[in-house]
Amino acid sequence: MATALLGALAHYALIKALHHAEAGAVQPYSYTLLVWVTLLGAVVFGDIPDHWTLMGAAIIVASGLYTWHHDRRMNQKPSSRPERSGVEGPRLRRAHDEVPSTAPLFARLRSG
């Protein structure tokens, strides 16, 4: 019963965190779950992960930290960024951006 309540509370906290911040800012904190589960498995069950598991977990955590660091740099104020040569890369689509309609594409496919 306590496990179910703690699980429900954790999911509610994650939903509230995603309501207040973008997923890219919140997700790196969920990677700490790997550390806690590994420690819990070792202490409670005596399950020591093999080197493949540790390497996979390190890759997942490193990619999450890289994404977090990249998002922080991209969200800095423009005045604090170094000047570029005028060439801008593609703009990433955010969740709240408008999604273009696919109706013109389907109209062309039907008529052609």
Domain ranges in the chain are 22-76
Q: Which residue do the tokens 């991209």 mark?
A: 74
* pLDDT for the residue numbered 91: 59
Query: What average pLDDT does range 98-104 have in this prediction?
Result: 58
> Residues 26-43, buried b or exposed e (16+ Cβ, 10 A)?
bbbeebeebeeebeeeee
**Which one has a higher pLDDT value, 53 or 23?**
53
> Residues 51-86, buried b or exposed e (16+ Cβ, 10 A)?
eeeeeebeeeeeebeeebeebeeeeeeeeeeeeeee
pTM of structure: 0.47
Q: Which DSSP category does 21 fall into?
A: S
* pLDDT for the residue numbered 69: 82
Task: Write the pLDDT tens digit of every residue in 36-94.
Answer: 888 899 999 999 999 998 899 889 888 878 877 887 788 776 655 555 555 555 555 55
